[in-house]
C-alpha cells in the first residue's frame, strides 16, 4: 500500500468514525467525541481535514452524494410518471427517516454554517436534475420556465414536509409519500396526461 493509499484509507476510517458519532448525537456531535470514537486526539483529526469545517464538509459530501444517488435511481427507474414521482419522494423520505440525526446535523448543528454551501449545492443539483426530467417528460421547450420553477418548488415542498415529519412522526412514511404525490400531481399530472394522450 502506498503512502497516498494509506492516507486515503485512514481518512475513510476517520469519516466512518465521524459518521457513527453524527448518527448517534446529531446536531450536538463534536470534534472531541469524533476523535474519541476514532481513538485519536483532536490535533490528528485536524491534520487530516485541515479544520472543523473541512471535516464537516467531507461528511456533508458523503451524505448528500449518497442521497443524490438514491434519488437519481428512483427518478430514472421505470414506470408511469406518477409512480416515479411517488417512488422519488419515498426514496428521499426513506433516507432522511433512516438517518434523522444526520439530517439534523447537516441543517441544524452549530457547524451547519460550515456545510451550508455544500448542502445548497446538493439542493441545486437536485433541482437541475429534476428540471431536466420535467422538461423531457412533459416535452417542454428548453426555455420553458415551468421546469426550473416547478423543480425548485417540488424540492422545497418535499424537503419542508420531510423536516416536519422527522419532528412530528405523526404518520407512516408511505402515507406522507402519497399525500405529497397527490399535491404535486396537480398541474404536473394534468400536463403529463395531455402529453401521454398525444404520444
CA distance linking residue 197 with residue 138, whole number of Å: 12
Q: Could you give the CA distance from residue 12 to residue 16 in angstroms, rounded to a whole number?
A: 6
Q: Are residues 61 and 45 in contact, defined by beta-carbon separation less than 8 angstroms?
A: no
Predicted confidence (pLDDT) per residue in 95-142, tens digit: 999 989 888 877 776 666 666 677 777 888 889 989 998 898 888 899
Do 124 and 148 contact (CB within 8 A), yes or no? no
Strand, helix or coil for residue 20 = helix
Helices 146-168 and 112-137, axial angle in degrees (round to 10): 130
What the block records as the C-alpha cell of 133 is 426530467
The top-scoring range by mean pLDDT among 3-17, 71-85, 93-107, 138-152 is 138-152
Q: Is the pLDDT of residue 4 over 90?
A: no
140, 134 Cβ separation under 8 angstroms: yes
Per cent of the chain over pLDDT 70 is 88
Q: What are 159-190's pLDDT values in tens digits?
A: 999 999 999 999 999 999 999 999 988 766 67
**28 secondary structure, DSSP code:** G
pTM: 0.80
Q: Check pLDDT > 60 for residue 197.
A: no
pLDDT of residue 117: 73
We report the CATH number of the domain holding residue 107 as 1.10.357.10
**Which of these, 47, 88, 95, lies nearest to 71 by C-alpha position?**
88
Q: Is 13 contained in some domain?
A: no
Residue 64 has which C-alpha cell?
A: 448528500
Whether 11 maps to a domain, the answer reads no
Q: What is the rounded average pLDDT of the residues 13-28?
A: 86
Write out the three cell numbers for 111.
457547524
Q: Residue 2 has what pLDDT?
A: 76
Question: 75-83, long-range: CB within 8 Å, 24+ apart, which pairs?
Answer: 75/129, 75/130, 75/133, 81/137, 81/189, 81/192, 81/196, 82/181, 82/185, 82/189, 82/192
CA distance 72 to 57: 22
Residue 48 pLDDT class (50, 70, 90 cuts): confident
Which range has the top average pLDDT, 26-35, 96-105, 153-162?
153-162
In a domain, 132, yes or no: yes
Domain of residue 153 covers 60-198
Report how many domains make up the chain: 1
Instruction: Give the pLDDT confidence score for residue 50 in this predicted structure.
Output: 80
In-domain check, residue 2:
no
Q: Is residue 187 situated within a structural domain?
A: yes
**121 lies in a domain?**
yes
Would you say residue 92 lies in a domain? yes
Amino acid at each position: 500500500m502506498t503512502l497516498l493509499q494509506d492516507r486515503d484509507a485512514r481518512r475513510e476510517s476517520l469519516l466512518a468514525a465521524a459518521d457513527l458519532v453524527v448518527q448517534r448525537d446529531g446536531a450536538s456531535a463534536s470534534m472531541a467525541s469524533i476523535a474519541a470514537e476514532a481513538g485519536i486526539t483532536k490535533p490528528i483529526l485536524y491534520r487530516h481535514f485541515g479544520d472543523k469545517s473541512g471535516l464537516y464538509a467531507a461528511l456533508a459530501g458523503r451524505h448528500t452524494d449518497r442521497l443524490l444517488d438514491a434519488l437519481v435511481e428512483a427518478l430514472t427507474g421505470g414506470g408511469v410518471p406518477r409512480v416515479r414521482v411517488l417512488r422519488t419522494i419515498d426514496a428521499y423520505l426513506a433516507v432522511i427517516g433512516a438517518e434523522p440525526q444526520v439530517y439534523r446535523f447537516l441543517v441544524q448543528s452549530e457547524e451547519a454554517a460550515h456545510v451550508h454551501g455544500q448542502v445548497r449545492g446538493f439542493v441545486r443539483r437536485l433541482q437541475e436534475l429534476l428540471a431536466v426530467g420535467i422538461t423531457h417528460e412533459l416535452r417542454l421547450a428548453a426555455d420553458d420556465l415551468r421546469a426550473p420553477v416547478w423543480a425548485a418548488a417540488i424540492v422545497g415542498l418535499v424537503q419542508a414536509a420531510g423536516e416536519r415529519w422527522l419532528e412530528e412522526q405523526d404518520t407512516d412514511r408511505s402515507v406522507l409519500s402519497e399525500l405529497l404525490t397527490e399535491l404535486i400531481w396537480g398541474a404536473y399530472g394534468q400536463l403529463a396526461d395531455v402529453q401521454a394522450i398525444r404520444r
